[in-house]
Amino acid sequence: MIDPAGDAPGRRGLFVSAKDLLGTGITLLHNRLELLGIELAEERARLFSMLAYGGAAFLCLAAGLVFFAVFLTVLMWDSNRLLALAVFSALFLGAGVVSLLVTLSLARSGSKLFSASLAELRKDNQALTSGDAAKPR
């Protein structure tokens, strides 16, 4: 004869364990999504500040170089004005080409966005797979 009272705690324990496991999984997913959101906000702030400071640096350096080139050209106006203009043109074009190559290199290297989240997910996956392998069957 089967004792219904004896089976109830076992079944109840199984359902409670499944419920706890589901709750843990949801909490883990929630934490990972929060981490993704934080990383996205940090990357957005980093990109905005990088663009702002880069734009300001570009404008200041460009204006300074142009004024310096004009100054030296005016200084050499009587003797070698064409040479001065040619040298400054070559320098500005060379700097532009180097900047373009650096920009293309940075674009090819990619972003490290979500790297911490992906590392955490890998650790979670390893913990789950090693936990399954460690349990006796």
Which domain does 121 fall in, by range?
4-134
- As a whole number of angstroms, the distance between CA 54 and CA 106 comes to 14
Minimum mean pLDDT range among 19-23, 126-130, 133-137? 133-137
Tally of domains in the chain: 1
Q: What pLDDT does 52 receive?
A: 92
As a whole number, mean pLDDT of residues 93-111 equals 84
Q: What are 33-80's pLDDT values in tens digits?
A: 888 888 888 888 888 888 899 889 888 888 888 888 888 888 888 888
Q: What pLDDT does 133 receive?
A: 47
Q: What pLDDT does 8 receive?
A: 53
Kindly report the pTM of this predicted structure.
0.46
Q: In the chain, what's the furthest Cα-to-Cα distance?
A: 117
- As a whole number of angstroms, the distance between CA 28 and CA 125 comes to 12
Q: What pLDDT does 132 receive?
A: 53
Q: Token match 């990972």: residue? A: 32
Cα separations in angstroms, 40 against 29, 36, 50, 51, 119: 16, 6, 15, 16, 15
Task: Place 125 in a pLDDT band, splitting at 50, 70 and 90.
Answer: confident
